[in-house]
Structure 1
Amino acid sequence: MDAQRLLARRSFTELHARARAQALLDPGSFRELIDPFERLASPWLPRQGIVTQADDGLVVARGLLDGNPAVVLAIEGAFQGGSMGEVSAAKIAGSLELAAEDNRQGIPTRAAIVFETGGVRLQEANLGLAGIAEIQAAIVDLRRYQPVAGIVAGPVGCYGGMSIAAGLCSYLLVTREARLGLNGPAVIEQEAGIAEFDSRDRATIWGLSGGEQRYRSGLADRYVEDDAAQIRQALLACMRAGRPGRCRSERHDAFLPPLSQADGARPAEPAEVIAAFGEELRA
């Protein structure tokens, strides 16, 4: 990257959730729903001595994308690792459900979700899990009408049940800094031992679950530089493409044969994963 381009770049990963939503929507169209002044915080965290956040770490923004009605849902990774509790999950699920209802009423509302999350909030485990299930159902409902785009930028990544939600999106955009996986490195090491996964080995972490690897192995659709303008342009391109013929979760038949041939007796190597799945699975 040349110096002039580097100076002009605005890092998307360094923005907080509200600024990310503003960067994605058409200029001047951002309008926040259930903002912090509504004081809709988790009722469960104070009981465990944890300070709440007025928006429960989730920004709901209505506005326009390419001149069309849209909702952007941005998770704040700096609050509780972006984990999903009762309130934050309900804000996402409810917004997606309303967007689907818009479409049934003839209003072509599309959605973008900025994933920055470790998954369910352990302090609200059952409520968080139920909320994530509602999010997943709402994504599947809405994507029948309009594209639902997911963005994983970093630095928290996207893990747990929310990684399944990301996989259900019509399109998934990732950066080099992104990470995507069902279980995080520390969880894998804790449950299976360091021989299975060393959570301190950053090269292995990004080699197996980093954005570039996920793109090359067919689990993401766009690999984008960490630049707010470029991510917005990639998002608009996905929206203009419309709903894909088959979403990734509808193409499971292409992923299962390589997966069934994997050798579970030893840790996978990044090159082996790419060779097994290959870029043709993105088609």
Structure 2
Amino acid sequence: MSTATALRAPLLRESFIELSARERARALLDPGSFRELLGPFDRLESPWLPLQGVVCQADDGVVIARGTIDGAPAVIAAIEPAFQGGSIGEVSGSKITGALELALRDCERGHLIRPVVLFETGGVRLQEANLGLAVIAEIQAAIVALRRYVPVVGVIAGMVGCFGGMSLAAALCSQLIVTKQGRLGMNGPEVIEQEAGIDELDASDKRRIWQLIGGKQRVATGLADVLVDDDLDAIRAAVREASAPRADGAQPVPRSAQVDDYLARLTRVDPTTIAPDTMRVVFNADRKEAL
């Protein structure tokens, strides 16, 4: 490769983060195979948001797409971060649950479907709190049931991140792909600052936040599996590899099945010395490569 070509190469990258949910789903599927289910023209909107003066979105912020990945049947559930911060309500959550449960039904009949969830969400939609929490539990149950048959792949690209009950759904995935711009945590920085005070966490300290819960740190501590650049081709390749069936037919051991291991690691945490580097040592001591 010539020097000029090498200098131009980074400029040829196409950002995945800058794409909408619909564009992300289309980009991950094989060309020409994208088919949207329950799209905007079906007008499946939240019945609760107008009661509180919130303008609805015709797809309620979730895109469900069928198609193929490397020629194999696939379904993608993509959350739109631009609508209500990607929050999950009754309709949007039911769309994800329905897609995963239909994939599960096909898998049980021997027709394997590759499921991919594109997480970009602050968690439950506060205007629909109880209904949203209930449907998030259904999403989690569907992921657990599906991963017995096929890898359930999650992607957290950025910039909203993945928080609340949906962070638990992401943690249940067989493989979790993240960019360094992505964030993963049970509570978002603003919530922590609001509830515990700025001495606990300064939500304006962006460098500190990404050090603690950013994609690079989550992979280094074993709470996510694959770190990729914000590059469409790189993320597409990572999704294809993660969703492909293993040669031996076995499924990866999920984090939720490693309870004893995580409990043992928690006993090694010294609350007075918690820092990004110490967490790497505790939660992924056997990882040698520097991230």
Q: TM-score, normalised by structure 2?
A: 0.93
1:196–1:267: 8 Å Cα contact kept in structure 2? no
Measured in 2, the distance between the counterparts of 1:220 and 1:78 equals 24
**What pairs with 1:110-189 in structure 2 (closer than 5 Å)?**
110-189=114-193
Which structure 1 segments of 5+ residues have no match? none
Give the Å deviation of 1:256: 1.6
Residue of structure 1 in register with 2:70 after alignment? 66
Give the Å deviation of 1:193: 1.2
Residue of structure 1 in register with 2:202 after alignment? 198
CA offsets, 1:126-172, max 9 Å, x none?
00000100000000011111110000000000000000000000000
Residue of structure 2 in register with 1:271 after alignment? 277
Alignment coverage as a number of residue pairs: 281
Measured in 2, the distance between the counterparts of 1:179 and 1:3 equals 29
For residue 257 of structure 1, the aligned residue among 247, 261, 264 is 264
| Change beyond 3 A, Cα 1:281–1:86 | farther
**What pairs with 1:238-253 in structure 2 (closer than 5 Å)?**
238-242=242-246, 244-253=251-260
Alignment pair present for 1:218 and 2:222: yes
Give the Å deviation of 1:252: 2.3
Give the Å deviation of 1:74: 0.4
Query: Which aligned segments of 4 or more residues in structure 1 are displaced greater than 6 angstroms?
Result: none
2:151–2:252: 8 Å Cα contact kept in structure 1? no
2:119–2:170: 8 Å Cα contact kept in structure 1? yes
- Matching residue's letter, 2:229: E
Q: Secondary structure at the match of 2:258?
A: helix
- Matching residue's letter, 2:157: A
**What pairs with 1:76-87 in structure 2 (closer than 5 Å)?**
76-87=80-91
Give the Å deviation of 1:253: 2.0
Which structure 2 segments of 5+ residues have no match? none
Measured in 1, the distance between the counterparts of 2:162 and 2:128 equals 18
Give the Å deviation of 1:281: 7.1
Q: TM-score, normalised by structure 1?
A: 0.96
Measured in 2, the distance between the counterparts of 1:9 and 1:277 equals 33
CA offsets, 1:197-248, max 9 Å, x none?
1111111100010000000000111000101111010111112253534112
Give the Å deviation of 1:7: 1.9
Measured in 1, the distance between the counterparts of 2:252 and 2:152 equals 14
Q: What is the percentage of aligned positions where both structures have the same residue?
A: 57
Moved more, 248-257 or 57-66: 248-257
CA offsets, 1:12-60, max 9 Å, x none?
0000000000111111100000000000000000000000000000000
RMSD: 1.6
Alignment pair present for 1:4 and 2:11: no
Measured in 1, the distance between the counterparts of 2:53 and 2:73 equals 40
Q: Secondary structure at the match of 2:286?
A: helix
1:69–1:109: 8 Å Cα contact kept in structure 2? yes
Measured in 2, the distance between the counterparts of 1:258 and 1:177 equals 26
Q: Secondary structure at the match of 2:97?
A: helix
1:176–1:212: 8 Å Cα contact kept in structure 2? yes
